[in-house]
Every structure is written in structure tokens, then in C-alpha cells.
Chain A
Amino acid sequence: MTPLLIVEQLNKIYHRHQPDEVTALSNISLQIISGEVIALTGPSGSGKTTLLSLLGCMSKPTSGNIQLHGRNVSKLPERFLAQIRRETFGFVFQQYNLLRDVSVLENVMLPLYPTPQSFREMKGAATAVLGRFELNGMMRKKVKQLSGGEQQRVAIARALVTNPEIIIADEPTAHLDRELSQYLLQILSSLNREGKTIIIATHDPGVYQATFIQRRFNLRHGQVVEDGDR
């Protein structure tokens, strides 16, 4: 099976050639098959978030290649990366990164603005995905009026509204209690059953030891020190 994502000799250095130069990732190579659920683990500062952002085309590597569907995306111009982010990836951020003064519906519609869909189609898609998470009754509420768990569900709904192939989640259970964490894992598991590839960065054992996690990459000091099945 052709890998969905191929990473070869990936390096990421911040503030290069400056006194505060930091090597966040060093010679990372890995492959991800379509439909897999991957956990990236490691302590804070190990490079999990950096690797997620590179895989999700949110920044460019200092050196190395990333191939998505056989296409090298590591050197594409920004506008193509934006299109790939929009069409292929759905992001669930650690801090949710929702617009707090904006309604739930509008937050979920945000990724659809640059698409050719009409306003009515956008609203329809957003309403459908919110319905899936039982958030229809809160569509008009502002995000700041919601609880942490509700905000997390809105964030996931926003990530799904473009029907992406790959879900990237950065510490998704960081602000959730045990019950809500379990609920979140059920959602991710069901998304995987629908065929979506899921990449989760976490240091929560409750997540990386979950049954639906198929593979785990353990990072330390910007390098993969362990790569194997869960």
C-alpha cells in the first residue's frame, strides 16, 4: 500500500544562524499509511508540535522532504499549502483556537469561506456537522459562552466541515476531564472507522494507550527514538 505521507530526513531549525538557534527536529523519517491512527508522544519540547505543523503544511522544513500522495509539498508556495491545509487536513488545536466572540455556526463555517461553495451550501455543511455532535441548539451562541467540552466539540466540528482526509490533533485532551477525554477518543475512533487518517500528539497515557491507536512515534530532543506498534 502506497503511504499517504512520507517524511524523509526532516530537519527544522528555528532562528538559524542566530545566537538563539534551536534544532526542533533532527533527521526525522517516517511513513503514514492512509487510514492509520498515529500517536506522537514525548515530553514537552521534544518536537511533537513542530512535527505536526510540518506534516500539516503549516510551516516549511529547514531541510528534508514531505510527500503527500506522492507529491512533494515541502517546497510549495504558500497559496498551494493553504489549499492543501483546507482540503486535506482538519486541525484540532490544543487551545481550540476558536474565535471566542463569534457564534458556533460561524466558527465552523470559517474553513469554507475560501471554497467555491455558496453561502447556503456553507451553512448547510456546517449545520450538518454540528448536528453530528449534538450542537445544533448552540449554533447561535458565542463560543465564549460554552463549556470546555462543548468548545472541544465545536473545534472538532470545524476540523471536519471540509471533510478532510487527515485529522491532526495537538494534545486534544489537555483541558478535558476523564469522561470528556473518553468521549473525545470515541469520536476520533469513529472518524477512523469512516476511513480518516488520524495523527495525535499527546503525552496523555489515556490517549496513546487507547485501543484504536495503531502506531506510536516517541520523540525525544527532536528525534524519533521509538517507532512501533502501540
Chain B
Amino acid sequence: MLRQLKILEYTLSSLLRRKYKNLSLIAVYAFTIATLGSVLFLTHALKIEATGSLTSAPELIIQRVAAGRHDLIPTEYAKVIRELPGIKSVTPRVWGYYYDSLIKANLTLIGVSNYQEKLELLEGRLPENPQECAIGMGVAAAFGPTIGDDLVLEDSDKSRTVFEISGIFRAESNLLTNDLVVLQETALRDFFSMDQGLATDLIVQVYNQRETQTLAKKIKYLLPDTRPITRDEILHTYETLFNWRSGMMLAVGIAALIAFCILAWDKATGISAMEKQEIGILKAIGWETAEVLSVKFWEGLVISLTSFMVGILAAWIHVFIFDAPALIPLLKGWSVLFPEFQLTPAVDFYQLFVLAFLTIIPYLVCTIIPAWKSAVTDPEHVMRG
């Protein structure tokens, strides 16, 4: 133990002799780890947010598909579905999109009816009559109204409808409500000119959640032009966030991989003449091969562990304290109403462990292996200068 501490002391002294080079190495390495760590933290936190909030999403949503595209669904389909055993309730849902060319933003309009509860995350109240609305914070920020002001929307008949703002959703709910405009269902039907016999989709609640898949298949069989979406499928979408297709994850991953390959290549292509001489001198004056390799081990561990800790802490601070400003432009894309959110600081320990393993072990290997040959060579070569 004492011997290893002494060797560590020597290693630290050796690293400090080339302090600018080693500090630069740590900085680059920590930056790479911070980048990867930030992406991991952000995606995991978003997933936790989604899986936490959306576990109360409807168990089944029934859409109608016509010519491969989403179409309005006749409300009479609800009667067919209600007759299936295991179905608790079927409720038509009216919602849609509204594009405002001034702010170039898409709002989501939702119709509600038959509610009693006071919402925790709503300042004010939900609309109690067709002339009222509740809006998300993003909508409020885009137009600047407060409770009591009017929101004027132009419908497809070019007529303007005025809604008094009865409530604004609180900032904690931004990830769910940022672009929402909540109207009474009747008001929304008028606004969209949607027939009473139609709805955007149907919400289905079931008694036994384990039967959801079976019921979805039955509904699909009975109503072939429908597309049932289960809650599991909704959650799956968010579990695979950042895992898919082109761009983002690949770009970040490849950049980090390239950075690391450069580092590893630099280490593995060889140990400098000065380092070889140092090893030779140590061996000549009585250090064993194992002790020389211990120096290299500590060297690799100090650099990689320091980089990892600094990088991960920086990633945590970047994502959970500063709300990921470096990643937001990637996330935001061309979205106009991007929510200002503060994520719950949830971290996946497994991912953290894997990242630690992948950053520390390869670096250790790349530090020890090049020194191996010199370390096992007879020190007599040192005698020859």
C-alpha cells in the first residue's frame, strides 16, 4: 500500500513535469466525456419525464386511417367498441393543430368537457364556457397575454373568434402544455367546423390493463380502417428517443469516437524517447518491471479518472443546472415554441457505469501497452547511454 502511494507520488510528479500537455489532454478528454454525458443525461431525463408523466395517458387511442393518412373518426365507432368485454369507457376526443403565420408556430388545440377537478399546474381555471380558453406558457410567452386578456384566433372560414384567457399553465408543466390552447369541446368543434358525428380520435379505458393488446387487436379486426395505439406504444416512442435514424446521436457519437481514437492513437503509437529513457533509468537503479508498469497504470488512471469526473460533473451542471444550452439548438431544430423546461435530475447508473468503463479502461490500456516493451527490456541498454 505504502509502495503504491509512493509510486503514485512519483507519477503525479512526473505528470506535473509535463503539466501543460497533460492539462490539455485532460481538458479535451473531459470535454468529450461532458458532451457524451450531456446527451446521455438529457435523453434519460426526458425519458423519465415522459414515462413519469405519460403513464396516465389513455390506455388505448383509436384513430381512423384513410388512404394511409390520419382521418377523422365517426363517433358511432365508439358504440361498437363499448360492446367489447373489458372496455370501461370510450370517449371521443377533439383536438387539432393551428398554425399562426405571424409567429410561425404550430399550436395544439384541445377540447375538454365534463371535468370537475382543480388542476395543480394551472394558474386560473379551465374554460367554463365556449368563450374561454386556457393556454400554455409558450403561447403566453409568444403573444404576451395574462389571465383575463383575449386570445383571438382566425378559423378556416376566416372569421375571428375571441377567447378570454381563464388560465395559464404553470412552468413546471411546460414539457406537456407549452403549446396548448384548451377550449371547451363545443367551442373547438365550431372552430374546426367539425361535425358532431366525428371526432379526432377515441380514448378507450379498459378494466384490466393486461388485456389492452388483445382489445386493440379485436378493435382492429372489427373496425379495419382504425389504428389502435396503446399506451405502451406511446411510452416506447419516448424510450427510443435519441436512438434512431440519421443525425443527432450518430453525429455526437462519431465526433466523440473520433476524438477518442485520436487520443488512443497518439498514446499507442508510442512512447517517446524521453519516456523510454526514464523507464530504463528506473529499471537500472532497481525498480522492477511491475513497479514501472504501476507508474504507467497510475498515469493512465489519474488522467482518465480526472477527465471522467470533471466531464461528468460538467455534463450534470450543463444539463440540470443550466438546462443544456449547448444541446438545446440541436434539440430545438426549427421548433418555434420550444418549452423552457427544467428536468428532474434523473441519471441512469448503468449508462454512467458503461461510460466510465469505456473511457477509463481503453485509456489505461493505451497507456500501459506502449510502455510494456520498454518496461520488460533489460536495463543494460541504459548503460550504453
Contact = CB atoms under 8 A, between A and B. Distances in A.
The short answer to whether A and B are in direct contact, CB under 8 Å, is yes
Interface of A: 49-50, 52-53, 58-60, 78-79, 82-83, 85-87, 89, 91, 93-95, 97-99, 101-102, 106, 110-111, 113-114, 116, 118-119, 122, 158, 162, 170
Nearest to B17: A101
Interface string B119-147: 00000000000000000000000000000
B2 A99 contact: no
A85 B286 CA distance: 5
Contact of A91 (B9, B277, B284, B376): B284
A82 B286 contact: yes
Q: From DSSP, what is the main secondary structure of chain B's interface residues?
A: helix
A124 to B, nearest CB: 14
Contacts of A98: 281
14 contacts: A49-B383, A53-B380, A58-B378, A58-B382, A78-B376, A79-B288, A85-B286, A91-B285, A97-B281, A97-B382, A113-B10, A114-B286, A114-B288, A116-B3
Nearest to A60: B378
B74 interface: no
B376 to A, nearest CB: 8
Contact of A113 (B280, B284, B291, B379): B291
Interface in B337-385: 376, 378-380, 382-385
Interface of B: 2-3, 6-7, 9-10, 13, 17, 277-278, 280-291, 376, 378-380, 382-385
A95 B288 contact: no
B286 A99 contact: no
Contacts of A170: 383
B385 A95 contact: yes
A114 B290 CA distance: 10
B288 A113 contact: no
Nearest to A82: B288
Query: Which of B7, B282, B284 has the largest count of A CB atoms less than 10 A from its CB?
Result: B284
Contacts of A52: 383
B3 A114 contact: yes
B282 A110 contact: yes
Given A110-B285, A113-B291, 8 more contacts: A49-B383, A58-B284, A58-B382, A79-B288, A82-B291, A85-B284, A113-B3, A119-B9
B383 A53 contact: yes
B161 to A, nearest CB: 79
A127 B297 CA distance: 29
A58 B383 contact: yes
A111 B379 CA distance: 14
Contacts of A118: 2
Contacts of B278: 99
Contact of A99 (B281, B376, B384, B385): B281
B262 to A, nearest CB: 26
Contacts of A158: 285
A101 B278 CA distance: 11
A146 B26 CA distance: 32
Nearest to A52: B383
Nearest to B285: A111
Contacts of B10: 110, 113
Top 5 closest pairs, chain A to chain B, by CB: A86-B286, A53-B380, A59-B380, A59-B378, A95-B385
B288 A93 contact: no
Contact of B2 (A59, A93, A95, A116): A116
A53 B377 CA distance: 13
Contact of A162 (B6, B283, B286): B286
A86 B378 contact: no
A209 B287 CA distance: 35
Contacts of A111: 285-286
A38 to B, nearest CB: 17
B46 to A, nearest CB: 49
Query: Which of B9, B281, B376 has the largest count of A CB atoms less than 10 A from its CB?
Result: B281
A60 B384 CA distance: 16
A93 B382 contact: yes
B289 A78 contact: yes
Nearest to B277: A97
Contacts of B378: 53, 58-60
B286 A49 contact: no
Contacts of B384: 49
Nearest to B378: A59
B3 A97 contact: no
Nearest to B286: A86
A58 B380 contact: yes
Given A59-B378, A106-B13, A93 B286 contact: no
Query: Which of B2, B7, B287, B288 has the largest count of A CB atoms less than 10 A from its CB?
Result: B288
A222 B379 CA distance: 20
A93 B284 contact: yes
Contacts of B286: 82-83, 85-87, 89, 111, 114, 162
